[in-house]
Amino acid sequence: MLPEGGELLRRVIPSRLVSELSDLPGEIRFDVSLAPRTTIGVGGKGACLIVPRTVDALVEAIRLCRQCGVRYILLGAGSNLLFSDHGYPGVVIATEGLSGSVIEGRV
Ligand SMILES: Cc1cc2nc3c(=O)[nH]c(=O)nc-3n(C[C@H](O)[C@H](O)[C@H](O)COP(=O)(O)OP(=O)(O)OC[C@H]3O[C@@H](n4cnc5c(N)ncnc54)[C@H](O)[C@@H]3O)c2cc1C
C-alpha cells in the first residue's frame, strides 16, 4: 500500500522533477483526489497532477517524467477509468487545459 499525504509525494517524485514541472506553463498540484476526474468517480489520490497550458508543456512534461523514470498517465475525460483506492504513484498529466488542441504524432 502506498503511503498517504505528503509522504506519497516525497517518495515517488524526485524534487528535481517537481521543480522542473513547476516551471512549465500550467498548473501543478500534489496529493490530488482523482475520483472526481473519472466518469465512475472512484479511486485514491495522485501524487502529482499537472494541467499543462500548452502542447509544448505537455510534451516537455512527458519528456521530464521519462527522463526521471517516474510513472505518468495522460488523463483526458477519464471515461471508464479506474484508479486504485491506494492512489496513483506518479504524475497525472491532465489535458483539460488544452481543449480545442488536436495532438498528432508520437512524443
Ligand atoms: C467499454 C470500455 C470499458 C472500459 N472499462 C475500463 C475499466 O473498467 N477500468 C479502466 O481502468 N479502464 C476501462 N476502460 C478504458 C478507459 O475507458 C480508458 O482507459 C479511458 O477512457 C482513459 O481515459 P482518458 O481520460 O485517457 O480518455 P477519454 O476519457 O477517452 O478522454 C480522452 C479525451 O482526449 C481527447 N483526445 C483524444 N485524442 C486526442 C488527440 N489526438 N488530440 C487532442 N485530444 C484528443 C478526446 O476528445 C477526449 O476528450 C474501458 C474502455 C472501454 C471502451
Residue 23, amino acid:
D
- For residue 1, how far is its CA from the centre of ligand 1 (angstroms)? 26
d(CA 48, CA 2): 14
Q: What is the pLDDT of residues 13-30, one digit of tens each?
A: 999 999 999 999 999 999
Q: Does 107 fall in a domain?
A: no
Range of the domain at 54: 6-98
Q: What is the pLDDT of residues 34-75, one digit of tens each?
A: 999 999 999 999 999 999 999 999 999 999 999 999 999 999
Query: How many domains in the chain?
Result: 1
Q: Does 105 fall in a domain?
A: no
Q: Does 103 fall in a domain?
A: no
- Give the number of other CB atoms < 10 A from CB of residue 94: 24
**pTM of the predicted model, to two decimals?**
0.88
Residue 70: CATH number of its domain:
3.30.43.10
Nearest-CA residue for ligand 1 atom 52 is: 80
Q: Does 60 fall in a domain?
A: yes
Q: Does 106 fall in a domain?
A: no
Q: Does 25 fall in a domain?
A: yes
d(CA 41, CA 96): 17
CB of residue 81 inside a 6 A radius of ligand 1: yes
